[in-house]
Amino acid sequence: MNDAKQLFNLRQKEEIVERLKYNKFIFNGHFMIFITIMIGAFALGYSNWLKDIPQNINYALILSFVLAICTIFPMRTLLKEADKLYLLPFEKNMTVYIRKAITYSYLNRLYLPVIVLVIGLPLFYQILGSKFYLYIAIIVLSFIYPILGLMMKWFWLKYGLEVWGVNLLLFIIYASGYYTVLKVGILSGIFTIILLIALIILLENINRSTFYQWETLIGIEYNHKMNYYKLVNMFTDVKVLNERTVRRRYLDVFLKVPTAKKFNQNYMYKFLFVRSFLRGKDALFIVLRFLIIGLILIWWIDQAIISAILGALIMYLLILQLSQFYKQQAYGLWPQVWPVNEEQVIKGYHQFLLNMMIILGVILSVIYIVKFVTASYFVVLFFIVGWLTIDATIKKLKRHQSLLSD
């Protein structure tokens, strides 16, 4: 038991050290500026929206669904590939390890429902009025549900069932529990807690003679780490990340075979950068999600100048994120298969960034102009910031190239 406890403590320490190492690249100066402005912009728009809350919207149902999703915590066991061989003989002594894994999984994701509850606090304070104690009950449930859900998820996985099944079941229980508390009363929330405890006891009794599903547990942990590495990879290189490509046939229209005139070294790297972006495993959707968040904030805020500044900042950060594609192509396999002058690589990268700037700038401009017709001239700021960011990036690459050539 003590060895299992020490093993988990050691792995938890390794996990924390690794995250601290990578998080300093994520939460750098540029990103923190964006986060600060984004929070300020959201708070400004939210405060204006609260002055005249739209009626005939079921806010209780929306909160219940969002909070139910946020309180389904993933199971983090910190297990590794070799454990299915070396820890197999000690499975009976792994109880303490699993308990600590459940506690770690709980504390590791607790911030998410807290954020949702803080955002919903002023809204439901006005909506519920004298029944605000129901929202307090929701807060209490959001701390109890996840730990019970993790215990239930552990026995569910130990029995060999699919993780999506327990997630769906927990979503139904959580969402119905939150909603009925807001609409009926606190007793319905107590009933869902009793239901979860009953399911845990039932699954525990069923699992008394079963063994750990090592392959499943290790696979789930591996996926969690890979998802984290993919996020970090947008800010810095992660050597352990295995990048894969996806066909995405619906984007083939942007990847037509170049004509004979453009089938040469002057255009090859532009094509490779576009191809890497559109068929990369996660880069396209990370940029897309980032862009959607920015568009929502621009539409959310009712002040033209602040929205323009936010749009310019989004353009800057999106172009900055695309700098990872230079390393992926310039130091990959293609320069060895078809060696060209590095200036050609930088030229192709420059063309790729200019095209991306135009596409992103047009999307941001359309939303901004629709929202602020009289201040549409501010959209020029998006393209100026994008062009200056690209210019600074290319100059930095050329300077780096000249230093290496010496």
> Left, alpha or beta for 246 (phi > 0: left; psi -120 to 50: alpha)?
beta
Residues 340 and 265: beta-carbon distance below 8 Å: yes
* 368: nearest Cα among 317, 299, 265: 299
Q: Is 187 helix (H, G, I), strand (E, B) or coil?
A: helix
pLDDT computed for residue 324 by the predictor: 64
Q: How far apart are CA 277 and CA 232, in angstroms?
A: 17
Residues 382 and 365: beta-carbon distance below 8 Å: yes
Residues 307 and 294: beta-carbon distance below 8 Å: no
* pLDDT digit string, tens, across residues 45-54: 788 888 888 8
| Residue pointed to by tokens 């003590």 | 2
Residues 83 and 214: beta-carbon distance below 8 Å: yes
Rounded average pLDDT over 225-232: 80
pLDDT computed for residue 334 by the predictor: 60
Q: Is 347 helix (H, G, I), strand (E, B) or coil?
A: helix
Q: Is 280 helix (H, G, I), strand (E, B) or coil?
A: strand
Say if residue 39's pLDDT is above 90.
no
pLDDT band at 337 (very low <50, low <70, confident <90, very high): low
For the beta carbon of residue 256, count every other beta carbon within 10 angstroms: 8
pLDDT computed for residue 43 by the predictor: 81
Rounded average pLDDT over 51-59: 85
Q: Using the 8-state DSSP alphabet, how is residue 279 labeled?
A: H
pLDDT band at 339 (very low <50, low <70, confident <90, very high): low
pLDDT band at 270 (very low <50, low <70, confident <90, very high): confident
Most confident range, picked from 17-31, 177-191, 304-318, 324-338: 177-191
* pLDDT digit string, tens, across residues 160-205: 888 999 999 999 999 999 999 998 888 888 999 999 999 999 999 9
Q: At 143, which amino acid appears? A: F
What angle do helix axes 186-206 and 133-158 make, rounded to 10 degrees? 10
pLDDT computed for residue 147 by the predictor: 96
Rounded average pLDDT over 100-107: 94
pLDDT computed for residue 374 by the predictor: 85
Q: How far apart are CA 315 and CA 66, in angstroms?
A: 29
DSSP string, 26-92: HT-HHHHHHHHHHHHHHHHHHHHHHHT--SS--HHHHHHHHHHHHT-PPP-----TTHHHHTGGGGG
Residues 301 and 378: beta-carbon distance below 8 Å: no
The larger pLDDT score, comparing residue 405 to residue 384, is at 384
Rounded average pLDDT over 388-401: 82
Which range, of 154-163, 174-183, 227-236, averages the lowest pLDDT?
Answer: 227-236
The larger pLDDT score, comparing residue 244 to residue 171, is at 171
Q: How far apart are CA 365 and CA 241, in angstroms?
A: 35
Q: How far apart are CA 45 and CA 62, in angstroms?
A: 19
pLDDT computed for residue 280 by the predictor: 66
pLDDT computed for residue 166 by the predictor: 93
Residues 154 and 202: beta-carbon distance below 8 Å: no
pLDDT computed for residue 283 by the predictor: 66
pLDDT computed for residue 247 by the predictor: 60
Average pLDDT, the chain: 83
